[in-house]
Amino acid sequence: MPGLKRFFEQWLTPPGVWQMLMIAKASLKLALMSVDDKRLLADNKQLKDRHTGSRCFILGAGSSLKGQDLKKLEGEIVISVSNTFVHPDFLRINPRYHVVPPLIVSHGEMHTQEKFVTWLKAMEAATGDAEMFFHIGDREMIERDGLFKDRIVHWVAYAWWNGDFDTPIDLMRIPNIGSVSEVALTVALHLGFDKIYLIGVDHDWFNGVLVYFYDHTKEHILRPDMNDLSTVDSEFQMRRHADIFKKYKYLYSLKMNIFNANAKQSHYLDVFPKVEYDALFVDTTTKRQV
């Protein structure tokens, strides 16, 4: 069946018709959501431009963080993602927001819901009072287990993207992602930050399948079985990253206010202008911006 589906997509359906079908499918999926889900997604409108006039740092989990002094982020607005809460300085920088990728939809074949819940419990305990962003498809699991009930939680949904750079930012219809960093950037743009700095967003897949600032075999409850990654070869990674980088170009084109403050200035993530991380803090006491 998968082969037949691909044949139908590639050879029997004109590109324009296929795009219309995908848009219709996404609209139908949204229409079939419960009234509560729609209401929760619509609540994101209240976040629009909340941080106009401010800057933020998006904290990824790349190995480059080993070469950066995250203590300088104390007092800054930080958007952390996924398993970054295991960083020794996490509590000190106290991220304002924490973004999680879709769990059941995107990773349900690799992990049980019980394992997701175990990870989320560790996340809940480690992320302080950070406002959370979750996929609406994980709401039932999260609420059933009483997770994050005393926290502010925002829900997002995803939709098919035809590559159009004129697509508006909408947390109800985030273009399908290949990396949680795309979600964090979309959230940051929706919040209206004047400047957005990426750190620890490495995408250095050529250094290994799982390369982080932490030891994933010991510090990640959702560490995958290497057998599940047998198809993750260089071709897979190059195709995936081509899509991610195209999405980055789209997000950058909206306000041109995203900067790569990675510790490794020679890193190949060249979609965004590169800036020197340490130079962003003229005075570590006042945190005056440059």
Q: What's residue 18's pLDDT?
A: 44
Q: How confident is the model at residue 20 (pLDDT cuts 50, 70, 90)?
A: low
Pick from 103-107, 130-134, 207-211, 219-223 the range whose average pLDDT is largest: 130-134
pLDDT digits (tens, 9 = 90+) for 174-184: 999 999 999 99
| 3-class SS string, the chain | CHHHHHHHHHHHCCHHHHHHHHHHHHHHHHHCCCHHHHHHHHHHHHHCCCCCCCEEEEECCCHHHHHCCHHHHCCCEEEEEHHHHHCCCHHHHCCCEEECCCCHHHHCCCCCHHHHHHHHHHHHHHCCCCEEEEEHHHHHHHHHCCCCCCCCEEEECEECCCCCCCCCCCCCCEECCCCHHHHHHHHHHHHCCCEEEEECCCCCHHHCCCCCCCCHHHHCCCCCCHHHHCCCCHHHHHHHHHHHHHHHHHHHHHHCCEEECCCCCCCCCCCCCECCCHHHCCCCCCCCCC
Within-domain flag for 65: yes
| Domain presence at residue 18 | no
On whether residue 203 sits in a domain, the answer given is: yes
Whether 69 is in a domain gets the answer yes
- Cβ atoms of 155 and 135 closer than 8 Å: yes
Residue 21, pLDDT above cutoff 60: no
Within-domain flag for 206? yes
More confident residue, 35 or 227: 35
Cα–Cα distance for residue pair 290/284, rounded to 1 Å: 12
CATH number, residue 225: 3.90.1480
- The pTM assigned to this predicted structure is 0.87
Do the Cβ atoms of 200 and 62 come closer than 8 Å? yes
> Could you give the percent of the chain with pLDDT greater than 90?
69
Of the candidates 70, 32, 5, 289, the residue with the CA atom closest to the CA atom of residue 157: 32
Convert the pLDDT of each residue in 115-128 to its tens digit: 999 999 999 999 99
Query: Residues 15-32: what's their mean pLDDT?
Result: 57
Whether 7 is covered by a domain: the verdict is no
> How many domains is the chain built from?
1
Render pLDDT for 226-238 as a digit per residue (tens, 0 to 9). Answer: 666 677 788 988 9
Q: Which of 11-25, 151-165, 200-214, 260-274 has the lowest mean pLDDT?
A: 11-25
Q: What's the rounded mean pLDDT across residues 202-225?
A: 86
Instruction: Report which listed range, 8-17, 64-73, 218-227, is most confident.
Output: 64-73
Parent domain of 115: 33-280
Q: Is there a domain that residue 243 lies in? A: yes
CA distance 250 to 247: 5
- Other CB atoms within 10 A of residue 270 CB: 11
Task: Say if 16 falls within a structural domain.
Answer: no
Quickly tell me which residue has 């990870």 as its tokens. Answer: 119
Name the percent of the chain lying above pLDDT 70: 84
